[in-house]
Amino acid sequence: MTTEREVTTLGGEEKKSLNFIEQIVENDLSEGKNGGRLQTRFPPEPNGYLHIGHAKAICMDFGIAARYGGICNLRFDDTNPVKEDVEYVDAIREDIEWLGFHWGDVYYASDYFDRLYRFAEELIMAGHAYVDEQTAEEIAAQKGTPTTPGSPSPYRERPREESLDLFRRMNAGEFEEGAMILRAKIDMASPNMHFRDPIIYRIIKHPHHRTGSKWNVYPMYDFAHGQSDFFEGVTHSICTLEFEVHRPLYDYFIDLLRQVEKHTEDYRPRQMEFNRLNLTYTMMSKRKLLQLVKEGFVSGWDDPRMPTICGLRRRGYTPESIRGFVDRIGYTKYDGIIDVALLEHSVREDLNRRALRGSAVLHPVRLIITNYPEGQTEDMLFLNNPEDPNSDSHTIRFSRELYIEAEDFMEDAPKKYFRMTPGQEVRLKSAYIVRCTGCKKDEAGNVTEVYAEYDPETLSGRPESNRKVKGTIHWVSAQDSVEAEVRLYDRLFTDENPSEIKDKELAELLNPESLEVVTGCRIEPYLAEAKLGEYYQFQRVGYFCLDPDSRPDRLVFNRTVSLKDTWKKVNK
């Protein structure tokens, strides 16, 4: 298995010092805590697809276990049947594996429903929990504020037997959702709001994707997560900073569980928190991403504009680039927002190393080499990847009629335009130097053909072909090239921090130009052989990959990222 650390060294960067979580883990291991065991878990709720934020948690949970010889399990936190589905379970497994990580065991919080239910009954009998029949609004109104104590529910002191009876009948399905809930009886004056008699069980009458209609009550996150960690033997329960305020409650329930279940061993899981990933121009919440999918603003969870792992995969991101990105941003105790250009920089850097190079013309205009013999062709050698010393090469066919990018010709060009303009020489990449002689236009003034003459002595690579010209442009043969559709992507949101904008609808925040579909592009036959999961650079244009929508007679490519690096420029 590859860890973040290896990715870093692969990238030729210096090793970083340990982050604060690694320091704690090293310390615990050296002190022999938990018998020298390291066990982590990645605990997604199967209510959506994983996004780049989850990748940060995955790299931590799996990465640290691998680095220190521990185990990371996969646990589905499936305590809310209304929003959960096996579709998500399967997608989550696929995405973690694609990122290059391997779990030990797969667990489900729903595996513990019996044990959690028993624990809840024990708490009721021990006077630590009661059934509250108030509405959610009434309960909220009694919560108090962080500086003023809450007020007790009128049901707080009801007899234990009565609570137990009601709880059992809640689970038997006798009451409607919201009619009553089970609350832990802790401290309505606690400065930690999570201790003010938190809800621990609620009625949900919706079939669960694994337990069917066995249960009518389901535990809340705070009553399931820590206990699940404990049941599994998790030693380091790593999560994001918003759970820091839940930690005392996490420990409280584990203490009670140890008493009730009479555990005497020293073991207990330890929760640690790091900053979650926020990216500019990106919405990261699963709820918002689901809304984008449901309301049809994107084509699906794997739309290449989505920050989901499957969206990034379809867009042409490599697992290594995502892991390298996470390694770069690191783990701290402070929330912030990362420039999305850094993510783009990471994939650009990785693709520069690995992408196969080819020629594609997105907006073709015909170029006729008027002094090149009709019917003649030459196969020019083209290196697949100049960054790879062992690179193979392929051939690209040169002929009298070619396509070049429309923007590579200008009839009246400014001085510093070093491309195709009448009277000026330019090199056709891997082929000859040509001198532009003019063009033909239609009635509307659009250039329909460009003319040039080639110099047979200037074939690229020949020792005598050292003549210098200022510009090199790419081309494909008119006859041999293949038509393709190319999809260019821009940011999905126009605002730098879309999650912070509260007074606008989602639709108003979207960038209307986030997708540009270019049809009628011409690509060399080598690119027409591209397969899903391969990475290409269309030279001078950007990094591309084949899209799953592609068919043999209708090729479709996605632009992963352009060649221009905005992050490097800003951060030099």
| Among 62, 296, 81, CA closest to 206 | 81
Q: Smaller CB distance to ligand ATP: residue 191 or 336? A: 336
The answer to whether the beta carbons of residues 444 and 451 sit under 8 Å apart is no
Q: Smaller CB distance to ligand ATP: residue 43 or 498? A: 43
54 is in an annotated binding site: yes
**Using rule CB under 6 A, residue 277 touches ligand ATP:** yes
**Using rule CB under 6 A, residue 270 touches ligand ATP:** no
Beta strand residue intervals within 471-554, DSSP E? 472-473, 476-477, 482-489, 515-523, 536-538, 542-546
CB of 269 to ligand ATP, least distance (A): 14
Residue 128 φ/ψ, nearest 5 degrees: -105, 5
**Using rule CB under 6 A, residue 198 touches ligand ATP:** no
Q: Is 276 one of the catalytic residues?
A: yes
And the tokens for 520?
């009628």
- Residues in a beta bridge with 537: 357, 543
**Using rule CB under 6 A, residue 240 touches ligand ATP:** yes
Which of these segments, 50-58, 255-263, 402-410, 504-512, binds ligand ATP (CB under 6 A)?
50-58
**Using rule CB under 6 A, residue 246 touches ligand ATP:** no
Residues 40, 53, 380, 538: which binds ligand ATP (CB under 6 A)?
53
| 454-462: long-range contacts, CB 8 A cutoff, minimum separation 24 | 454/369, 454/371, 454/372, 454/428, 456/432, 458/427, 458/432, 458/433, 459/431, 459/432, 460/380, 460/427, 460/429, 460/430, 460/431, 460/432, 461/381, 461/430
Across 257-275, b (16+ Cβ under 10 Å) vs e yields beebeeeeeeebbbbbbbb
**Using rule CB under 6 A, residue 43 touches ligand ATP:** yes
- DSSP 8-state assignment for residue 278: -
H-assigned helices in 81-159 = 86-99, 113-125, 136-141
| Among 459, 348, 362, CA closest to 405 | 362
Active-site residue (options: 41, 286, 427, 559)? 286
- DSSP 8-state assignment for residue 150: -
Alpha-carbon distance 361 to 520, whole Å?
9
220 is in an annotated binding site: no
Active-site residue (options: 168, 276, 288, 354)? 276
CB of 166 to ligand ATP, least distance (A): 30
Please give the residue whose beta carbon sits closest to ligand ATP in the complex: 53
**Using rule CB under 6 A, residue 239 touches ligand ATP:** yes
Residues 25, 39, 44, 361: which binds ligand ATP (CB under 6 A)?
44
Q: Smaller CB distance to ligand ATP: residue 57 or 527? A: 57
Conformational region of residue 262, where left means phi above 0, alpha means psi within -120 to 50, and beta covers everything else: left
Alpha-carbon distance 251 to 254, whole Å?
5
Amino acid at 284: M
15 is in an annotated binding site: no
Q: Smaller CB distance to ligand ATP: residue 45 or 480? A: 45
352 is in an annotated binding site: no
Q: Is 6 one of the catalytic residues?
A: no
CB of 307 to ligand ATP, least distance (A): 9
Q: Smaller CB distance to ligand ATP: residue 239 or 310? A: 239
| Among 273, 238, 234, CA closest to 254 | 234
CB of 239 to ligand ATP, least distance (A): 4
Which of these segments, 186-194, 278-286, 333-341, 404-412, binds ligand ATP (CB under 6 A)?
278-286
Which of these segments, 29-37, 161-169, 279-287, 556-564, binds ligand ATP (CB under 6 A)?
279-287
Which of these segments, 53-61, 131-139, 162-170, 493-501, binds ligand ATP (CB under 6 A)?
53-61
Active-site residue (options: 6, 26, 45, 534)? 45
Residue 308 φ/ψ, nearest 5 degrees: -70, 160
x/- string (CB under 6 A) for ligand ATP, residues 110-149?
Answer: ----------------------------------------
380 is in an annotated binding site: no
Residues 280-339 that bind ligand ATP (CB under 6 A): 284-286
284 is in an annotated binding site: yes
529 is in an annotated binding site: no
Length of the chain: 572
SS3 percent helix, strand, coil of the chain, rounded to 5, is 35, 25, 40
Q: Smaller CB distance to ligand ATP: residue 278 or 371? A: 278
Residues 158, 205, 276, 363: which binds ligand ATP (CB under 6 A)?
276
Q: Smaller CB distance to ligand ATP: residue 305 or 522? A: 305
| Among 8, 202, 36, CA closest to 120 | 202
For the beta carbon of residue 122, count every other beta carbon within 10 angstroms: 16
Three-state SS across 300-366? CCCCCCCCEHHHHHHHCCCHHHHHHHHHHHCCCCCCCCECHHHHHHHHHHHHHHHCEEECEECCEEE
Q: Smaller CB distance to ligand ATP: residue 45 or 122? A: 45
Q: Smaller CB distance to ligand ATP: residue 109 or 404? A: 109
Q: Which residue has the tokens 């759970």?
A: 243
474 is in an annotated binding site: no
CB of 22 to ligand ATP, least distance (A): 17
Residues 4, 56, 170, 219: which binds ligand ATP (CB under 6 A)?
56
Q: Is 286 one of the catalytic residues?
A: yes
For the beta carbon of residue 337, count every other beta carbon within 10 angstroms: 15
Q: Which residues bind ligand ATP (CB under 6 A)?
A: 43-45, 53-54, 56-57, 239-240, 276-277, 284-286
Residue positions forming the annotated binding site for L-glutamine:
77, 221
Q: Report the binding-site residues.
A: 45-47, 51-57, 77, 221, 240, 276-277, 284-286
Looking at the annotation, which residues are catalytic? 45, 276, 286
Annotated binding site for ATP: 45-47, 51-57, 240, 276-277, 284-286
